[in-house]
Chains A and B, each alone.
Chain A
Amino acid sequence: MKTEYDLIVIGGGPAGLAAATAAYDQGLRDILIVERDRFLGGILNQCIHTGFGLQEFREELTGPEYAQRFVDKTLEDGIPFFLDTMVLAVRPDRTIVAISPELGRLELHAKAIVLSMGCRERTRAAIMVPGTRPAGVMTAGTAQRYMNVEGYLPGRNIVILGSGDIGLIMARRFTLEGARVNAVLEIMPYSTGLTRNIVQCLDDYGIPLLLNHTVTSVHGGKRVTGVSVAQVDDHRRPVPGTEREIACDTLITSVGLVPENELSKIAGVQLDPITGGAVVNQRLQTSVPGIFACGNVLQVHDLVDNVSEESQRAGRSAALYVQDKLPQTLRNIRVVPSPGIHYVVPQCVDVTEQTETIKLFMRPSDVFKGAFVELRTDSREEPLARFRRSRLTPGEMVVLTVQGTVFAAVEADISVGVKVS
């Protein structure tokens, strides 16, 4: 069996497929995609709602349709893939250990690796919701898989904790399928979901969004019988006297996503403690030579369109790396968040002879109105660049397209912060 590849892509979701097909377009032919589920397309298969592809394809698609475009391209290109195959380890020398019921234990080696494993949902345990441990507590993504892929309705009387996009989408999905959604609780004073989803998933069906609220206890023996909810104060602590019980048979949690970087850690890839993903440069290169990262394993995106764009860059870079065509790095500039900005990806920029436009992805740390996002360096009084934004919120990623000349002109770190005008 073939064990040597130019490029191995770990994960056949939107990121992996975009990276593999972009590497192919860059001239690479010896590519393998390794996917642990029984189909390509990843999480998009269960995201049957619309809202995908407005940027990438200029039309509104459902998740499965968006995935199909990339699956079709993968098949047209004839890029081989293993399904039902779980990668167990990635070594710094780019050896991959994987396992599959059909192929057994595999040990493969690649000149370059793209890490595109995606992310995982935080669970009830991760946020330590007190109470009993009955059946009927699950993440929004699990409920989504039950309902949209496996064909089960996992509950009829629902409370949703967390107002992230998946939670909002599932509130509508449960309602349409005939279940009752009592409320969506959000511990923060704002929702982290997109405004359009609050409108079309909650407001459309009269589902209350309770801001500054959380679940203080889960009740029930074999099955959930209800949850206690309470208002929280500025420190997110329950306010005594505000507690009440809501009867329900299911508690759905939508409380954030965590990049799934177990393999990156084994490979010795340096991680950013804030994003939970790899530290990368603008070419999506990690700290380990020949290993690239993209998509939700790198940073949790709001839009799959951004995942595709980022992953295509990673795939192209990986191809150029294999072809030994990446430009020589003259110096390395760190891009660091300063007040108002929680994180920035890429965390560093390699300055080369070519001046290239660079996209910076970031999340604001708070809600700001009428603000500037500014790039600064210590040696200069004036900002290197500034971008006006009418509204900034942690729920919506900010993408800045920065002229290459900005980076070419500086020697030291660049900080990115918010200035309210």
Chain B
Amino acid sequence: MNTEVCEITCIVCPTGCKVRVVREGSKVIEVSGNTCKRGETYASQEAVAPQRTLTTSVKVTEGDFALVSVKSATLVPKARLFDLMKAVQKLWVAAPIRIGDIVVHDVLGLGIDLVATRTVRKTGE
């Protein structure tokens, strides 16, 4: 099988290393240019099947904030980000919500939970 070279800018930290990944189909053969282990993991994944953490917000009823900010508890396949957003935009959740609470279980059956990244109190509490 032919090998393919991917030039990837690492987004794990602000350093932004230029990482070179050599792959054969979905098999990573060589990673170079990274300056840490996390960069290697990221670039290997990115070359084969890109994933991102999704952060967005969900509308809240009766909260001291109009929205609760959320993040995906696990990485989301990049190609599914917009599907997830469409599903999340329709949602309403009721206050109170505590930071770390799972706001939505298993969105779209992808096995991904959305976790609150802020506490929203019930109005008047």
Contacts and interface: CB of A to CB of B under 8 A. Distances in A.
Interface string A186-201: 0000000011100110
A177 B85 contact: yes
Nearest to A196: B11
A62 B117 contact: yes
B16 A196 contact: yes
A62 B52 contact: no
Interface stretch (A10-18, A111-119, A147-155, A278-286): A147-155
B14 A194 contact: yes
B66 A150 contact: yes
A196 B66 contact: no
A288 to B, nearest CB: 34
Given A48-B117, A62-B117, A64-B99, A176 B82 contact: yes
Contact of A303 (B14, B56, B99): B14
B11 A302 contact: no
Contacts of A194: 14, 16
Interface string B1-44: 00000000111111010000000000000000000000000000
B55 A48 contact: yes
B67 interface: yes
B89 A65 contact: no
Contacts of A135: none
B89 A62 contact: no
B119 interface: yes
A65 B99 contact: yes
B85 A178 contact: yes
B122 interface: no
Interface in A24-65: 45, 48-51, 54, 60-65
Interface in B51-90: 52-57, 59, 65-67, 69, 71, 78, 81-82, 85, 89
B98 to A, nearest CB: 10
A200 B52 contact: yes
A393 to B, nearest CB: 10
A62 B9 contact: no
Interface in A178-213: 178, 194-196, 199-200, 204
A88 B10 CA distance: 45
A272 interface: no
A54 B99 CA distance: 19
Contacts of A62: 55, 69, 71, 117
Contacts of B71: 48, 50, 62
Interface of B: 9-14, 16, 52-57, 59, 65-67, 69, 71, 78, 81-82, 85, 89, 99, 117-119
27 contacts: A48-B56, A48-B57, A50-B55, A50-B71, A54-B13, A61-B117, A64-B69, A64-B99, A65-B117, A65-B118, A148-B67, A148-B69, A149-B66, A149-B67, A150-B66, A151-B67, A176-B54, A177-B89, A194-B16, A196-B9, A196-B13, A196-B14, A200-B52, A204-B52, A204-B78, A302-B14, A396-B14
Interface of A: 45, 48-51, 54, 60-65, 68, 147-151, 176-178, 194-196, 199-200, 204, 302-303, 396
